[in-house]
């Protein structure tokens, strides 16, 4: 049984479908997820928590725009940093409450995390990740001309800004995170995929981009030498033929299976595909297993009783 585990918490754990995303709603949702994470801590696991920040960074960008005449604006990397602090506080608070309920004296710390990317990543030449709100055509064109934004059209909802989504290549605060785990401190890190930075000639500079949080989570788990990565999302299993009449759950797969499913186009880019790609990357780097499930089944999943389990090879069962 693995003793140190990274849990990548999906955005649905804080803002659920149909909700406005108020702070009160986020606290209530965080408590539900934290209760299951605290159960893992009670079982003796040392934990690293990562999380998404899509809705929150969109709101942060809106605030920056709305206050343009009265306060300073925030570039995207600073917005990511701000949401790391905001969400980190919500998760820390929820986890501390749930740990105390169980009489567990375990500290929780949020680490504002920078993630290194390459300025030569082709994503910078091909921005593709939508961020922020939808705009009317005239507003979008004005922002494109005045701010140099890349804009795409969504036929159903309007126009939206797109930014680069480069691959993560290094975790700047990796040593601090490792030392916390060694002291059995639950760490919240790499929020929203991390603050994207470019490091060269001794300088570290933020850059406007969005890093996929599942890819950063896989990188972090690999650099920490963890054997297990859990991706917590809004479905209980990975499904093939998702939302089709022939849909069915896959409870076990090898990375060869996963790559074949990716080639067959089984998983959509904005949902399960980056999670499967992250699983393949983590196991290819030496990780033992990736588990994909929903927050309510974390304990059962880590015991092998629930969720989708992805491994390098499958050991035949007796």
Residues belonging to the active site: 11-12, 129, 213, 275
Sole residue written with tokens 């059995």: 184
Q: Tell me the DSSP string of 41-67.
A: HHTT-EEEEEE--HHHHHHHHHHHHHT
Structure tokens given for 133: 């709100």
> Rounded to whole angstroms, how far apart are CA atoms 275 and 270?
10
Please, is 155 exposed, middle or buried when counting C-beta atoms within 10 Å of its C-beta (0-12, 13-18, 19+)?
Answer: exposed
Are the C-beta atoms of 50 and 189 separated by less than 8 Å? yes
Query: Among residues 220, 230, 243, 231, which one has the least CA distance to residue 115?
Result: 220
**Inter-residue contact 201 to 251 (CB < 8 Å):** no
> Three-state DSSP class for 114?
strand
**Pairing mode of beta strands 4-9, 228-232:** parallel
Angle at 81 between CA 76 and CA 87, to 5 degrees: 120
| Site of tokens 């909802």 | 157
C-alpha span between 90 and 7 (Å, rounded): 16
Q: Where are the beta strands (DSSP E) in 84-225?
A: 108-110, 114-116, 129-135, 150-154, 158-163, 170-171, 186-188, 195-200, 203-206
Contact between residue 204 and residue 197 where contact means Cβ atoms under 8 Å apart: yes
Region of residue 83 (phi > 0: left; psi between -120 and 50: alpha; otherwise: beta) = alpha
């Amino acid at each position: 049984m693995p003793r140190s585990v990274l849990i990548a918490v999906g955005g649905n754990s804080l803002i659920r479908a149909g909700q406005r995303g108020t702070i009160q709603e986020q606290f209530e949702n965080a408590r539900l997820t934290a209760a299951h994470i605290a159960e893992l801590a009670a079982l003796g696991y040392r934990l690293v928590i990562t999380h998404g920040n899509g809705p929150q960074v969109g709101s942060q960008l809106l605030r920056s725009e709305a206050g343009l005449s009265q306060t300073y604006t925030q570039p995207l990397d600073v917005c990511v940093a701000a949401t790391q602090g905001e969400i980190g506080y919500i998760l820390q608070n929820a986890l501390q409450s749930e740990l105390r309920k169980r009489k567990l004296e375990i500290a929780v710390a949020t680490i504002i995390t920078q993630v290194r990317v390459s300025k030569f990543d082709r994503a910078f030449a091909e921005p593709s990740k939508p961020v922020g709100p939808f705009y009317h055509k005239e507003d979008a064109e004005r922002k494109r001309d005045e701010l140099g934004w890349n804009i795409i059209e969504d036929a159903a909802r309007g126009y939206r800004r797109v930014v680069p989504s480069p691959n993560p290549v290094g975790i700047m605060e990796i040593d601090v995170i490792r030392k916390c785990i060694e002291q059995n401190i639950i760490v919240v890190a790499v929020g929203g995929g991390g603050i994207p930075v470019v490091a060269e000639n001794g300088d570290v500079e933020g850059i406007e981009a969005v890093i996929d949080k599942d890819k950063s989570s896989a990188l972090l788990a690999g650099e920490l030498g963890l054997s297990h990565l859990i991706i917590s999302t809004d479905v209980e299993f990975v499904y093939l033929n998702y939302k089709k009449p022939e849909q069915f759950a896959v409870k076990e797969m090898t990375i060869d299976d996963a790559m074949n499913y990716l080639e067959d186009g089984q998983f959509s880019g904005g949902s399960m595909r980056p999670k499967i790609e992250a699983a393949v990357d983590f196991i290819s780097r030496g990780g033992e297993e990736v588990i994909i499930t929903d927050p309510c089944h974390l304990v059962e999943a880590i015991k092998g009783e629930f969720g989708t389990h992805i491994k390098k090879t499958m050991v035949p069962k007796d």
